[in-house]
Structure 1
Amino acid sequence: MRNLILLLFFTFTLSLHAQRTDFVEIDFKKADAIAMRYQGEELKSLPVLALRLTAQLHTDVERFRAIYYWITHNVRGDYHMTSQNEYKRKKFKDHPKKLQQWNHEFTKEVFTKLREEKTTLCTGYAYLVKELANLVGLECEIVHGYGTMNVMKLNNLDIPNHSWNVVKLNGTWYLCDATWSSGTIDMSNYRFTFSFDDTFFLTEPSEFAKNHKPLDEKWSLLIPSVVTNK
C-alpha cells in the first residue's frame, strides 16, 4: 500500500509541471494563422466566433491556442477601467456590501465595453477566454487573486487585483494570462499597444507563481493533493 501511495504521489507531482513544452510536437502556426484571418471580428456572437476559430483544427491545444491568440490580438487593455477598479476596491475594502453593489454595476460596464469596443481589464479577458473555450467543449475556469510584475511585492498585496485562467488539456490543467499576453500600456499617455507575450501561455506553474497568487491555492497547480490510506 505504501508503494502505491508513493506511486500515486509521484504521478500527481509529475502532472503539476504542466507547461507549454508538453506540446512541443504541436506547431501552432496554423492556429495562429486562423486567428489572424479573423482579425477585427466582432464579439456580437461568441458561438459563431468560436466555431470560425476552431473548426479547422484537430487538437484541443490548437483550438485553445487559436482562441487565446485571437483574444490577445483583438482585445485592448483599458487603463482607466483598471485604475477605477483598483481605486474602488481599496475604497470599499472594509465595506463588503458597498463593494458588492459597486462591483455589480461595474461588471455591466465591463461587459458592455468588451462587447461593443473590445476593450477591457483582466476580468474581461479571463471571461472571454473561458466563454470561448467552453463553447468548443474545453474545460476552462477563471482564477481570481493577486498579480504584479514586481515579484518582490506579490506577497505584500492585500487586495485581490487580477484574474487569469486555467484550462484542461489532455486531462491536465494549465495556466495562462491573456491580459499580460496581449500587450502593454504606455503610462505617459495611457495608450495600449498590442505586443504578444507568449510566456504567459501554458506557463510552467513555478514560473507563473512568481507573479501570480490565486485566492484558491489549488489553482497555483503547485500543491499536491493529500493522499490518504483508507
Structure 2
Amino acid sequence: MKRSSHLWAKTLLAGTLLFAGLPLVAPHQAAYAATTQITATSQSDVADQLYQALMNRDAQTTISYKGTTTGLKAMLQDAFEQALEKDPYTHYILDSYGLNWRQSSSAAKVTVQMNYRETAAQTAYVQSQVKQILSTIITSGMNDHEKVKAIHDWVVRNVKYDETYTRYTAYEALHDGTAVCQGYALLTYELLRQSGIQNLIVEGTAGGELHAWNLVNLDGTWYHLDTTWDDPVPDQGNYVQTSYYLLTDSQMKQDHNWTKTYPAASTTYQNTLSKLVAAGGDKTSVYQQLQRALDYSGVSSNPTQSSNSTASTTSAANGAISTPAALQAQVQSAQTNGKHTLVFRYSGNLTSLKSDLRTLSSIGIRSISYTVQSGSNTSDLKVTLNWQ
C-alpha cells in the first residue's frame, strides 16, 4: 500500500419527526452565516433553496414547506442530496447536517443545520488562490491536454501528503501546503473547473482505505486522475510521478475501486496521444512531448535514469530492466542523486518483478512500496518504486 488515504464522510446528525420541539444537535463549529428562512412547494424548490444555502455557507436554514407531507423525510433527504450534486466541491467540504421538522398533512416547517469543514472566507481564499495559480501556469496558447498536465504537476509539486490525517480541504492544501487525498482532489477539481475543464470527484477505496481522486473529461473522453498517488511519500520536491495520470477504468481498477456510478473511462490516453500525433497539426510537438513525459514512446521520463554501463549491459535490449543487477544499479544511481523514487519499464512478469525487488535488500534497501501498470502497446510493466 502506498499510503493511508482518508476520505471524510459527512454525517446525518438528525432526521427525527418533531412534535415536542426537541433541540437540534449543536454544531461543533461556529456558524458561518446568518440563519435564512425560505418557502418551498415541491422537492425541486427545496433542493434549489438548499443549494443556495450551501453556496452561502449558511449554518442554519428554515424551510416553510407547503404540500403533501407523505414521505416527507425521504423527500427532504433526496432534496439535500440533489442540492449537493450540483456542486461537488461543497459536497465534500460539508462536514455534517441535521434535519428536524414539524408537520401537518399539508405543510411542514423544516430546520436544516449544516456544519462545514471550510468557511465561506476560506472557500473564497481557495478561489482567489486558484485564479492566481492558473495565471502563472496556464498560457493563452494552451489546449486542455496541456492545461491538465500543468495542473497535475503543480498540485504534486506544491502539496505534501498530510501524514497526520487531519487536513481534508483545498484550503488546507493551499494555506498549509499539506492535505490528505480529499484535499488533493478538491484542489485539483477547482483548478480544472476554473480552467474550463469538466471533472468530477470520485469516491472509493485504494489500498484498503477510503480514497478520493478525479475524473477528467478531455475532448469528450473520460480519464481517471489521482494527484495524491502521483505525489511521492516522503515528499521529493519537484519530482512528479505519472503512474495515475489519465487512466482507464481497467487500469485504475488494479488498485482502486469505486461503488458509485461514474462516466466510463475506456480509452487509453496513450492511444489518444498516438492518434493526435498521427493527425498532425500545430500541436503535434506538444503531444509528442507529452508522450515522452508519460513514457509512452519507450523513453523513460524518470529523472534518475542513468545510462551508466552497468545498467545498460544488464537491461533488456529495448531499455527495460530485466535482471536484479540492472534494478540494483538504477536504484543506486537514484540514491546517489538523493532520490527515493524510480520509475522504470520492467521486462518480465509480476512474479519475477517481486523476486527482483527482494534483492534490493542486498544494497541496503529495507522498506519499499511500488505500483505496477501494464503497457498498452508492450508486454513490459511500468513500475513506480519508492523506498525510505
How far off its partner does 1:209 sit? 0.7
CA distance in structure 2 between the partners assigned to 1:111 and 1:221 by the alignment = 25
Tell me which amino acid in the other structure corresponds to 1:54. I
- Report the Cα distance in structure 2 between the residues aligned to 1:215 and 1:59, rounded to whole angstroms: 32
Matching residue of 2:222:
173
Question: Which of 240, 245, 263 lines up with 1:196 in the alignment?
Answer: 240
Q: Which residue of 1 aligns with 2:153?
A: 69
Q: How much identity, in percent, do the aligned residues show?
A: 25
The one of the two structures with greater contact order (alpha-carbon pairs below 8 A, sep at least 6) is 1
TM-superposed CA distance for 1:220, in Å, is 6.0
Q: Which has the higher helix share?
A: 1
State the SS of the aligned residue for 1:129: helix
User: How far off is 1:132 after superposition?
Assistant: 0.5
Q: Secondary structure at the match of 2:240?
A: coil
Report the CA distance shift for 1:63/1:112 in structure 2 as closer, same or farther (over 3 A).
closer
- 1: distance between equivalents of 2:135 and 2:198? 16
SS of 1:178 mapped into structure 2: coil
Opposite residue 167 of structure 1, the aligned amino acid is V
CA contact (8 A) 1:214 1:220 kept: no
From 241, 265, 282, the equivalent of 1:221 is 265
Q: For 1:98-154, what per-residue CA distance to the aligned partner results, in whole angstroms no more than 9, with x for missing partners?
A: xxxxxxxx75xx444323221010000000111000001000111010001xxxxxx
Task: Specify the alignment match of 2:251 in structure 1.
Answer: 207
Larger radius of gyration: 2
- Please give the alpha-carbon distance, in whole angstroms, between the structure 2 residues aligned to 1:143 and 1:48: 26
Report the Cα distance in structure 1 between the residues aligned to 2:219 and 2:205, rounded to whole angstroms. Answer: 28
Match of 1:199, SS? coil
Q: RMSD of the TM alignment (CA)? A: 2.3
Gaps of 5+ in 1: 1-41, 85-105, 149-156, 186-191, 223-230
TM-score (structure 1 length as normaliser): 0.55
Per the alignment, in what secondary structure is the counterpart of residue 134 of structure 2? helix
How far apart in 2 are the matches of 1:132 and 1:142? 13
What is the letter of the counterpart of residue 248 of structure 2? E
Q: How far 1:215 moved relative to its partner?
A: 2.6
Name the amino acid aligned to 1:206.
Answer: S
Gaps of 5+ in 2: 1-124, 267-388
Number of positions where the alignment pairs a residue of Structure 1 with one of Structure 2: 140
Question: 2: distance between equivalents of 1:68 and 1:111?
Answer: 14
1:79 to 159, 163, 166: 163
Offset at residue 199 of structure 1 (A): 1.4
Matches within 5 A, 1:142-153: 142-148=201-207
What letter is aligned with 1:65?
K
The answer to which structure has the higher strand fraction is: 2
Give the residue type in structure 1 aligned to 2:185.
A
Tell me what 1:45 maps to.
Answer: 129
Question: Residues of 2 paired with 1:134 and 1:79: CA distance?
Answer: 27
**Partner AA of 1:176 in structure 2:** L
Specify the alignment match of 2:197 in structure 1. 138
Supply the distance in 2 between the matched residues of 1:180 and 1:219 (Cα, whole angstroms).
21
Question: What one-letter code is carried by the residue in structure 1 that aligns with 2:240?
Answer: F
Q: Is the 8 A contact 2:203 2:213 kept in 1?
A: yes
Aligned to 1:8: none
Secondary structure in structure 1 of the residue aligned to 2:154 = helix
On the 8 A contact 1:68/1:178 being kept in 2, the answer is yes
1:68-117: per-residue Cα shift (whole Å, max 9, x none)?
11101110001111xx6xxxxxxxxxxxxxxxxxxxxx75xx44432322
Separation of aligned partners in 1, 2:184 and 2:240: 14
Contact 2:249–2:265 (Cα < 8 Å) also in 1: yes
